[in-house]
Amino acid sequence: MPLDSFHRDINYLRISLTDRCNLRCQYCMPLHGLTFVPDPELLTAEEIEKVVRAAAGIGFRKFRLTGGEPTLRPDLIEITRRIAGVSGAHDLGMTTNGMLLERLARPLKEAGLKRVNVHVDSLNEERVKKLMRFVDLDNVWRGIRAAEAAGLLPVKLNAVVARGYNEDDVVELARLTVANDWQMRYIELMPLGSGPEAQFSIDRYVSNVETKRKIEAALGTLTPLENADPSDEAVNYRLPGARGVIGFISPVSEPYCGTCNRMRLTADGKFHLCLLHDDELDVKKILRGGGTVADIQEVLNLAITAKPTGHGLAIGVHTQNRKMHQIGG
């Protein structure tokens, strides 16, 4: 198993396919002044497969496709099929805003995708558009139902809670788990980059302690569930009589760095060592210089060894060089 210098088993690779997105969420992407990685600089489907093959060969077991918005990649089905065909890459998921998921859910399932996380911050049409801006809620719901019908299970819904936007909508989102076997997960705002979205995340921060209290006051006591995977970033609960699960991802109020098992591959071919640090190692140079799987494993092992102990938010440390849409969360 690939252990880092703090004896954490690093076995989960999050793969950003693009830094582009068809939304402009307040905490992620500004409306203006954006520049994107040119298409020739994005890792190809073949290059992504080669990295996955290298990672699986040293013990990585879990893989996730992220963005930006991964469904914008025209070769998404090919990428999925290639990764799913790698020996050891049995657990393949994807995080998406759901806007294009309705037509892609079944082909993705047939290509080997196991499950999806769909981002939706509110059930209120007016408020969700203020926070996620270009979102079409009807499209998202059709995507969620298509994913469920295709067998991309369990369906997980992610909501970022921002004060003044959707902190009062957490109850209705939680109520979805009563009748549906879904996982509703609340994510605390994290500052990334140096633009207005980073300041938004600081100014509009809501602790999951507050979110949990609000849900319990309206819907009843949340019963804690034992996590099957100790590295799961969500602390999970169930409402009385509910079919689904409620999870709280609390990197600010309850950091889980001690059990972090993640490495990130950026769309432009860097191993990003920690979501909230700027440290990276270049793997694209090796891929395009004729490097072997063993060469990729060498730089990946270096990245694992160099992985920091924690994010440092408590002392004001966070990434300055990349925004959230350039890392994939």
Amino acid at the residue 284: K
Q: Is 232 helix (H, G, I), strand (E, B) or coil?
A: coil
Between 274 and 120, the more confident residue is 120
| pLDDT for position 1 | 66
Cβ–Cβ < 8 Å for 150, 108: yes
**Residue found by looking up tokens 């440290």 in the block:** 279
Cα angle for residues 43, 47, 52 (degrees, 5° grid): 110
User: Against a cut of 0.75, is the pTM above it?
Assistant: yes
Q: Residue 253 class from Cβ within 10 Å (0-12 exposed, 13-18 middle, 19+ buried)?
A: middle
- Strand ranges (E), the chain: 12-16, 62-66, 91-96, 115-119, 156-160, 183-187, 223-224, 234-238, 245-249, 262-265, 270-272, 280-282
Task: Using the CB atoms, write b or e for 85-96: b if 16+ within 10 Å.
Answer: ebeebeebbbbb
| pLDDT for position 310 | 73
| pLDDT for position 315 | 47
User: Mean pLDDT throughout 11-35?
Assistant: 94
Q: Domain 12-326: which topology?
A: TIM Barrel (3.20.20)
User: Mean pLDDT throughout 37-52?
Assistant: 98
Q: What is the pLDDT of residues 95-129, one digit of tens each?
A: 999 999 999 999 999 999 999 999 999 999 999 99
User: Mean pLDDT throughout 76-84?
Assistant: 98
Tokens of 284: 């694209």
Domain ranges, ordered by start, for the chain? 12-326
